[in-house]
Amino acid sequence: MADPCFHIKGTSVTSMVLDLYRYQRDEFAETLRQKIETAPLFFTGSPLFLNLASFTGGMDKTQMQSIVSECRSAGFQLYGFRGAEEHVAQMAKDAGLVHLPTPRPRTEQAPEAPASEPTPQPAANSNPTPTKVISKPVRSGQQVYAEGADLILLAPVSEGAEVIADGNIHVYSALRGRALAGVRDNSNARIFCQKLEAELVSIAGHFILNDSFSEAVWKKPAQVFLQDDSIEIAAL
């Protein structure tokens, strides 16, 4: 057998997508700035592509270039686009973006919609990221983040620790630290745990502290979910 110096394989990478509906420079810059303020750490350095499938209105070369420079100066790693009409596609290529193939059968919903839109389905990705499984305790001062995925913890989460997921969080042990599920605006995300002693639970940016937990669920198996923009905790 020869010993090849490389392999080419298929892989899937989690990326954010910006669904552009219309473009007006000041509005775009302002919306982008607001979006990033909600969670600066999660957006900085994130890979991003432009979905132009729902784009209406005209676009010229300067506008395309300013979209690229605004996204990049905001900290995103904008690398590509898809779903554009031919002349827009040419401008995007000229601006240095990679043309990504449009997924064939399903009409994709936007995971990152503007605030006015109803919250879209979380699992629009045809290649879901595998769930992150942690089997050792998450200790005080440690942080675990499951990017674009669910997070499963098989050991306790200590006070002062933080577990974060874009999807759901399952703790098959005691949850004593902070748990933040659906951090990228996924309001369908839930937190499940065997023993609820958390300092804070959060779904899609809404959070409550343990002083507002009811006695009925404290130190019991419980789930946390979002209902009408308010956090609910139910016994399991």
Partner 1 sequence: MAKIIVVTSGKGGVGKTTSSAAISTGLALRGHKTVVIDFDVGLRNLDLIMGCERRVVYDFVNVINKEANLKQALIKDKRTEGLYVLPASQTRDKDALTHDGVEAVLNELAEDFDYIICDSPAGIEQGAQMALYFAEEAIVVTNPEVSSVRDSDRILGILQSKSRLAEQGKQVKEHLLLTRYNPERVASAEMLSVADVEEILAIPLLGVIPESEAVLKASNQGSPVILDENSEAGQAYSDAVARLVGEDVEHRFLEMQKKGFLKRLLGGK
- Our CB check for partner 1 shows the closer of 161 and 201 to be 161
Ramachandran category for residue 57: left, alpha or beta (phi over 0 → left; psi -120 to 50 → alpha): left
Name the helix (H) or strand (E) containing 42: helix 40-43
From 26-34, 95-103, 158-166, 222-230, span contacting partner 1 (CB under 8 A): 158-166
Which of 77, 129, 158, 223 forms a contact with partner 1 (CB under 8 A)?
158
- Our CB check for partner 1 shows the closer of 128 and 160 to be 160
* Beta-carbon-side half-sphere exposure of residue 94 (alpha carbons within 13 Å): 13
Q: Does 142 bind partner 1 (CB under 8 A)?
A: yes
Report the first-to-last Cα separation within the chain, whole angstroms: 55
Q: Does 122 bind partner 1 (CB under 8 A)?
A: no
The footprint of partner 1 on residues 16-75 (CB under 8 A) is none
From 29-37, 53-61, 107-115, 136-144, span contacting partner 1 (CB under 8 A): 136-144
Please state the closest distance from residue 236 (CB atom) to partner 1, in A: 20
- Our CB check for partner 1 shows the closer of 47 and 160 to be 160
- Our CB check for partner 1 shows the closer of 156 and 167 to be 156
Q: Does 174 bind partner 1 (CB under 8 A)?
A: yes
Which of 139, 149, 210, 220 forms a contact with partner 1 (CB under 8 A)?
139
Euclidean distance between CA atoms 57 and 216, whole angstroms: 54
- Our CB check for partner 1 shows the closer of 149 and 155 to be 155
Q: Does 159 bind partner 1 (CB under 8 A)?
A: yes
Please state the closest distance from residue 98 (CB atom) to partner 1, in A: 34
Euclidean distance between CA atoms 127 and 125, whole angstroms: 5
Please state the closest distance from residue 138 (CB atom) to partner 1, in A: 8
- In sign, the C-alpha dihedral spanning 94, 100, 104, 107 is negative
Q: Does 156 bind partner 1 (CB under 8 A)?
A: yes
Which of 17, 161, 196, 198 forms a contact with partner 1 (CB under 8 A)?
161
Any idea what DSSP says for residue 218? B
Q: Does 178 bind partner 1 (CB under 8 A)?
A: no
Q: What is the DSSP string of 135-166?
A: -S-B-TT-EEEETTS-EEESS-B-TT-EEEES
Q: Which residues contact 64 (CB under 8 A, 6 or more apart)?
A: 88, 91, 92, 94, 95
Name the helix (H) or strand (E) containing 233: strand 230-235
- In sign, the C-alpha dihedral spanning 206, 210, 212, 214 is positive
Please report, as ranges, the residues that interact with partner 1 according to CB under 8 A: 136-142, 155-156, 158-161, 174, 176
